[in-house]
Amino acid sequence: MSRDGAAALLEVRVSHKDYLSGGGRPQRALENLGFSLPVGRAGAVVGPSGCGKTTLLRIIAGLDTEFSGAVTLPAGGRLGMVFQEPRLLPWRSVIDNLRVAAPQASEEALAALLAALELKEHAQHFPGELSLGLARRVAIARALAIEPDLLLLDEPFVSLDDALARDLRARIAALIDERHVTTLIVTHDLREAIELADVIFLLSPRPARVGATLDVATPRRLMTREAADALEARARREIEAMRGR
Partner 1 sequence: MIRLLSLALLLAFWQGAALFSDPRRLPGPLPVFEAIAHEAESGALFTNLAATLARVAAAFLLAMSLGAALGYAMGRRRALDRLFDPWLVILLNLPALVVIVLAYLWAGLTEAAAVGAVALNKLPNAIVVMREGARALDHELDEMADVFRLRPAARLRHIVLPQLAPYIAAATRSGLSLVWKIVLVVELIGRSNGVGFEINMAFQLFDVRLLLAYAIPFVLLMLAVETLLVQPFERHVSRWRRRPARGQGFA
In angstroms, rounded to a whole number, what is the distance separating the alpha carbons of residues 168 and 192? Answer: 11
Shorter beta-carbon distance to partner 1: residue 129 or 229: 129
Supply the minimum distance, in Å, between the C-beta of residue 164 and partner 1.
5
Q: Is 214 helix (H, G, I), strand (E, B) or coil?
A: strand
Question: Which residues of 87-205 form beta strands (DSSP E)?
Answer: 150-154, 182-187, 199-203
Residue 82: φ, ψ to 5° = -110, 110
Q: Does 146 bind partner 1 (CB under 8 A)?
A: yes
Q: Does 95 bind partner 1 (CB under 8 A)?
A: no
Q: Which of residues 58-77 bind partner 1 (CB under 8 A)?
A: 61-63
Q: Does 85 bind partner 1 (CB under 8 A)?
A: yes
Q: Does 87 bind partner 1 (CB under 8 A)?
A: yes
In angstroms, rounded to a whole number, what is the distance separating the alpha carbons of residues 27 and 20? Answer: 6
Number of residues that bind partner 1 (CB under 8 A): 35
* Sheet of 199-203, strand order: 79-82, 150-154, 182-187, 42-46, 199-203, 210-215
150 Cβ contact list (under 8 Å, min separation 6): 9, 10, 37, 60, 73, 77, 78, 79, 80, 181, 182, 183, 184
**Which span (161-169, 180-188, 217-225, 226-234) binds partner 1, by CB under 8 A?**
161-169
Q: Does 126 bind partner 1 (CB under 8 A)?
A: yes
Supply the minimum distance, in Å, between the C-beta of residue 136 and partner 1.
10
Supply the minimum distance, in Å, between the C-beta of residue 241 and partner 1.
35
Q: Does 140 bind partner 1 (CB under 8 A)?
A: no
List interacting residues with partner 1 (CB under 8 A).
Answer: 61-63, 78-81, 83, 85, 87, 89-92, 100-103, 118, 122, 125-126, 128-131, 133-134, 137, 142, 146, 163-164, 167-168
